[in-house]
Amino acid sequence: MKHLLTAMCFLCASAAGFAQAKVIPLDKSPLDVCYFPENFPMLKIQGKAAGPLLARLIYSRPSKGDRVVFGELIAYGKLWRLGANEATEIEFFQNVKIGSYKLKKGRYTVYTIPEANKWTVIFNKENDTWGSFGYDPKKDVAKITVPVQTITDSVEIFTISLDKISSGFNMNISWDNTKVNLPIYLQ
């Protein structure tokens, strides 16, 4: 009888807790993850991974809609979090070289300063930040300038991918009619 009474109290308390649970609304710019090698977690569980995980990138994916993205929504010459909501983060699982910079394995926040014909891509050691409001240039570990490519097929949803090159991978950033490629070399 004592156990039955204890179980009934537990069930009532649990039901009250579930009834008060707050449902978080869906985000308009969902969070996404990309890996290098591509689809690494799936390959790993299938026993098809040819090597170790080298990089993981976490970012939010806003939509273009009816907006003019670069030069209006994303101002030229101003710091951008590279996506929406939380600032984009990349984790390297081994040392890499980006431009003339050598970065140790670890997690970095990625920012950009977009211009019409070039972008400055910034790797910063401050993590777990929202937007670019807490950006501290003293924590930058690399700043690389890359050219902008104009693409004919507009990309509706902001996209970053990590694609293999001969001695590393490209971080490809695409949105609207703009594409930027940043080579990252494995050390």
Please tell me the predicted confidence (pLDDT) of residue 169.
96
Please tell me the predicted confidence (pLDDT) of residue 16.
53
Q: How far apart are the two ends of the chain, measured CA to CA in Å? A: 67
Please tell me the predicted confidence (pLDDT) of residue 1.
57
**What would the two tokens of residue 117 be?**
């014909």
Per-position pLDDT tens, the chain of length 187: 565 555 455 555 555 555 567 887 777 777 889 999 888 878 788 888 888 889 999 999 999 999 999 999 999 999 999 999 999 999 999 999 999 999 999 999 999 999 999 999 999 999 888 888 889 999 999 999 999 999 999 999 999 999 999 999 999 999 999 999 999 999 8
Question: CB of 114 within 8 A of CB of 70?
Answer: yes
Question: Distance from CA of residue 186 to its chain's centroid?
Answer: 19
Q: How far apart are CA 79 and CA 146, in angstroms?
A: 15
Pairing of strands 118-124, 88-92: unpaired
Please tell me the predicted confidence (pLDDT) of residue 17.
54
Pairing of strands 168-186, 140-165: antiparallel
Question: CB of 64 within 8 A of CB of 155?
Answer: yes
Query: How far is CA 77 from each of CA 1, 47, 74, rounded to the nearest angstrom?
Result: 72, 45, 9
Q: How far apart are CA 180 and CA 163, in angstroms?
A: 13
Place of tokens 């014909």: 117
